[in-house]
Each structure stands twice: as C-alpha cells, then as structure tokens.
Amino acid sequence: MQDGITRVVIVQQVPHEGPGVIARMLRRLSADTEVVRAYRGDRIPRSVGPSVALVILGGPMGAYEEGKYPFLTEELRLIESALKAGTPVLGICLGAQLMARAAGARVYRGGAKEIGWYPLHLTEEGRRDSLLLGLPSELRVFQWHGDTFDVPRGGVNLASSELFPHQLVRLGRRAYALQFHLEVTEEMVYEWLDVNVEELRGLEGVIYPDAIRAETPGSIPVLHRYGKAVFSRFFRL
C-alpha cells in the first residue's frame, strides 16, 4: 500500500456480498481494515480521514431505494464527502451506482440483466488508464446487475459491455466505479446462485444458472489475476 494510506474502510451491504479477494489482499498487506456492515446497523461514518481508502461493495438493492434502505442515505453522504476530499474510492456494482449518484448522475434500471460471465471491452481511455495497464482489451468478468448509471460530469468511461455501455468509470484521479465483480471467489459465485434462486427463476430461459456454475471453475483464476492487478494498483493510488 502507498505510504500515505494507513487504513481501509469497507462498507458491506448484505452478508453474502463480502470483499472476497480484496480481503485476502489486505490481509497479506497487513492493512488496518474496518468493515462497516450496513445490513446489521453498523454506523456509517460521515467522512473518512485523508489517509483512508474507501471501498463500497455491492448488494441487491437499488441506489435510489433510500426509503426502503435508510442507510443508503448515509452512504451517499459518505461517498460525496470522500469524492470531494480526493479520497481513493472503489465502488463495486451497487457501490459504483452509489458513486455515480453521489456525483450527480442518474441511476436507473437497464433494459436487461447481466448475470454470469460476460466479455468486457476497454475503451481507448481504459487502455491508457494506470489501473488497467497491461490488461487485455477484452476481459471476461463476472456480472450480477440490472441497474446502470450515466457517466457523471467530469467522469471518464473506461470499459463497456454489449448490454451496458458504462461499466467502469473514473471520477477524478483516485476514484473508480466498477459495475462488474473482480472480487468474487468461486464459493461466492455458488452462494449467490443459491441465495438468489427466486430472481433466477424469474429469468428462466434468459439466464442459465447451470451454465454459470459450469463456467466458473475455469474462469475464476483468470478473474483473480485481473483483480490482483486492479486492486493492488488501487491501493497504491
């Protein structure tokens, strides 16, 4: 980790969407890490210090559902404060959508759902970005979302998929919103398939859980190589 970053704060939305390989990396780095579990009522800080990196994880709720999930209001306030302060911020899936909303962009339902393994294409700007240098221009990544977001004013779109053009957005110099999941472990993928069985039942004939299970063992090692590169660079920003 960069000498200036002394602590990492991770906000977790639901029990089954944890930090995955991010936690493994931080343990290897002996990083001082705090996990704020919003789903069980942990206090969301109003701000984080200048030497803290902030990670906002995913969840099944929408970034616009503060009425149903009041802690999202506090998270939006925290993210807005961090973006204004130039804090390193990494948002994943719902976390990315919250970052976009905190930065003034629209978050809304997409025309379809991306659930499973999909190709991701780096934009020209993405191929030049320091977080992604050396990665292939096309990556196969894990997705689980139906919402999407517009690029906030001043943001730069770094990656797209066939269904969702805004997949990885840089906000300023040290804040990145990732719509996809580089943090998942093989066990997490299988757990999500089990936990979200009702959602998947409603997508029968569109999303194929058995195909996702079959593809996961061969795809996870490559995903982890991408994740290791991206996350290690993020924590050195």
Residues annotated as part of the active site: 93, 181, 183
What tokens were used for 155? 């943001």
> Which residues neighbour 205 within 8 Å (Cβ) at sequence distance 6 or greater?
none
CB 6 within 8 A of CB 52: yes
Interatomic CA distance for residues 115 and 70, integer angstroms = 26
Phi then psi for residue 208, to 5 deg, are -120, 95
Contact 48, 80 (CB under 8 A): no
What the block records as the tokens of 156 is: 């730069």
